A and B are shown apart, each in its own frame.
Chain A
Amino acid sequence: GDSVTQMEGPVTLSEEAFLTINCTYTATGYPSLFWYVQYPGEGLQLLLKATKADDKGSNKGFEATYRKETTSFHLEKGSVQVSDSAVYFCALMSGGYNKLIFGAGTRLAVHP
């Protein structure tokens, strides 16, 4: 079945460092891809999305490009802040049933 694999965390960075969180997927058809973020004690929020190959989603300085050839949707940010500390979830929307399938989440901790 469809699935999402994310790099294991935690990822620990200093402020202003470059961030990459890897995400790869397995899906039949052409899924839409998403990144969600969960701040401590809160529900998930949509961060960005891409609906077709080569689309780039971006929001709040974060970017991810839908790469069909490598079935990847890696999240990047050029300069992280302490306020970016959270758990990041990669997800795909399965075309057949239109349900979101999440990866295991990657915890990011940014230190001053």
Chain B
Amino acid sequence: DTAVSQTPKYLVTQMGNDKSIKCEQNLGHDTMYWYKQDSKKFLKIMFSYNNKELIINETVPNRFSPKSPDKAHLNLHINSLELGDSAVYFCASSQDWTSARAGELFFGEGSRLTVL
């Protein structure tokens, strides 16, 4: 039973399209994250939600919109895709962000987005 699962694993699409990536965790964690990993493996946080509330919103274009319907799910919708959006997007979760274990993240396997 996968702890943090993302779908789809691969996504190939044309510039200008809109796409979504879904994430679910069954660990009972309160906090969920989206990270972007570029082609050089550099990881940058995009968003963080704690119990459905947005707590971190880095300088990400407005075309990216996260949604957390409940604390076990965090989805990422991307409008008007651009070439530079090509990357691997990782979902992660942790116990409450204020806890001593806040830095112990559990990652999904990633969703590789390719924009043509």
A58 to chain B, nearest CB (A): 15
Task: Say whether B90 contacts A44, CB under 8 Å.
Answer: yes
Could you jot down 8 A-B contacts, CB within 8 Å? A42-B110, A43-B107, A43-B109, A44-B105, A46-B105, A100-B45, A101-B45, A104-B42
B96 to chain A, nearest CB (A): 9
A104 to chain B, nearest CB (A): 5
Known A42-B109, A43-B110, A44-B90: A49·B103 in contact at CB below 8 Å: yes
Nearest opposing residue in chain A for B108, CB measure: A43
Task: Say whether B41 contacts A104, CB under 8 Å.
Answer: yes
Assuming A46-B104, A87-B41, what are 14 further A-B pairs, CB within 8 angstroms?
Answer: A34-B103, A43-B109, A44-B92, A44-B107, A45-B107, A46-B105, A89-B43, A93-B102, A100-B105, A101-B45, A102-B42, A102-B43, A104-B41, A105-B41
Contacts of B48 in A (CB 8 A): 99
Across the A-B interface, the 8 shortest Cβ-Cβ residue pairs: A43-B107, A93-B103, A102-B43, A105-B41, A44-B107, A98-B97, A98-B102, A43-B109
Known A43-B4, A97-B56, A98-B102: A105·B42 in contact at CB below 8 Å: yes
Nearest opposing residue in chain B for A33, CB measure: B103
Contacts of B109 in A (CB 8 A): 41-43
Question: Among the listed A45, A91, A105, A107, which residue makes an inter-chain contact with B103, where contact means beta carbons less than 8 Å apart?
Answer: A91
Interface size on B, residues (CB 8 A): 23
Residues B1-58 near A (CB distance < 8 A): 4, 40-45, 48, 56
A94 to chain B, nearest CB (A): 10
Contacts of A51 in B (CB 8 A): 100
A41 to B9, CA, bound (A): 10
